[in-house]
Amino acid sequence: MSYQFITSAKLPTRHGEFDIHIFENDEGQEHVMLTVGLSVVDQTTAPSSDDTSSQRPIPLVRIHSECLTGDAFSSLKCDCGPQLNTAMQAIQESGCGAILYLRQEGRGIGLTNKIRAYALQDQGHDTLDANLMLGLPADARIYDMCGPMLAYIGVNAVRLITNNPNKVAYLTEHGIDVVERVPLLVGVNDMNAEYLATKRDRMGHMLDKVFNTAIHLNK
Q: Which of 79, 141, 177, 190 is catalytic?
A: 141
User: Is 74 labelled a binding residue?
Assistant: no
User: Is 67 labelled a binding residue?
Assistant: yes
User: Is 194 labelled a binding residue?
Assistant: no
> What is the sign, positive or negative, of the torsion defined by CA atoms of 13, 217, 108, 173?
positive
Residues 84, 93: Cα–Cα separation, whole Å: 14
Task: With CA atoms as reference, report the closest residue to 32 among 59, 58, 1, 7.
Answer: 7
User: Is 106 labelled a binding residue?
Assistant: yes
User: Is 78 labelled a binding residue?
Assistant: yes
User: Is 80 labelled a binding residue?
Assistant: yes
How far is the CA of 183 from the CAs of 125, 150, 154, 195, in angstroms?
Answer: 27, 21, 24, 17
Residues 210, 193: Cα–Cα separation, whole Å: 10
Q: Is 139 among the catalytic positions? A: yes
User: What is residue 11's DSSP assignment?
Assistant: E
Q: Which of 19, 71, 139, 159 is catalytic?
A: 139
User: Is 52 labelled a binding residue?
Assistant: no
User: Is 62 labelled a binding residue?
Assistant: yes
Residue ranges of the annotated binding site for Zn(2+) are: 67, 78, 80
Residue ranges of the annotated binding site for GTP are: 62-66, 83, 105-107, 127, 162, 167
Active site residues: 139, 141
Residue ranges of the annotated binding site are: 62-67, 78, 80, 83, 105-107, 127, 162, 167
